[in-house]
Amino acid sequence: MADRGLAYGDGLFETIKVRHGQAALLERHLARLADGCQRLSIPCDLTLLTSELQAFMQQLGDGVCKLIITRGAGQRGYAMPDPCTPQRILQASALPQWPAVYAEQGVQLFNCQLRLAQQPLLAGLKHLNRLEQVLARAEWQDPAYAEGVLLDAQERVIDCVFSNIFIVQQQQLLTPSLHAAGVAGVMRAELLQRAENAGINVVVRDITLQQLLQADEVFTCNSLYGIWPVRHYRTQHWSVGSMTRKLQYLINDLVDGSPCYVS
């Protein structure tokens, strides 16, 4: 109860897809976690953590493993405890179930009114301060929208509530820079790498709302569902593009046979 994870959201988490007791993209999850621990000055024994995680996933078999690391218990007040005894929490859940048409025919994105705040010291991290995502997700109930787009106060595109976003423009693959806001997803990183390996031009930079609306193709991604083509957002309609299909093919090993889609 005195844990600073609860008191201040003083910690980080990872949501890891587990199949046959093995984590997908494990190295990327661990790398992001290590980076987050360093930036927040949370000591982290990655070797111990990895062995706990692997035992946990073996037992889980198939599902989602959520790993939370907090700064642990502290006295009253914001000052970091010294010494610090971080807490590691592992939670299992079933894979979420999405309609198979999301990946096949594309999704509609909700136009969230919330504007993400800019905090470079926290940008990119999957930390436990997620009230913005909670409020943004509460903006729509209509199941016709699979996800919602999040902009910042300058109308730059940042990400979606639980996904990253990519656009294709003139055969270039672009995704927003996350230097001031957003969560740097492991699937985003994996996609950038695999696209580059496949000879696709890859650009990470600020993307305006206008650039998103004028894109040739748009898709979202995360580590659980892979890639969803976007077929509608605000004024625009898209059909599923060839670059999006190619990238779905390139990450097929991470999604194929996955029980997270239902027909």
Contact residues: a second copy, CB under 8 A: 1-10, 13, 15, 40-41, 64, 66, 68, 70-71, 75-80, 89, 91, 93, 96, 114, 117-119, 121-122, 127-138, 153, 161-162
Which CB atom, from 136 or from 167, has the smaller least distance to a second copy?
136
Beta pairing partners, 91: 66
d(CA 198, CA 32): 24
Which CB atom, from 167 or from 221, has the smaller least distance to a second copy?
221
- Minimum distance, C-beta of residue 193 to a second copy, in the bound complex (Å): 27
Output the six-digit token pair for 219.
């898709």
d(CA 124, CA 32): 9
Output the six-digit token pair for 158.
């940042």
- Minimum distance, C-beta of residue 11 to a second copy, in the bound complex (Å): 8
- Minimum distance, C-beta of residue 215 to a second copy, in the bound complex (Å): 25
Neighbouring C-beta atoms of residue 108, cutoff 10 Å: 16
Nearest to 149 by CA among 241, 250, 225, 218: 218
At how many degrees (to 10) do helices 46-60 and 26-40 cross?
Answer: 140
- Minimum distance, C-beta of residue 46 to a second copy, in the bound complex (Å): 21
Which CB atom, from 41 or from 263, has the smaller least distance to a second copy?
41
Which CB atom, from 13 or from 238, has the smaller least distance to a second copy?
13
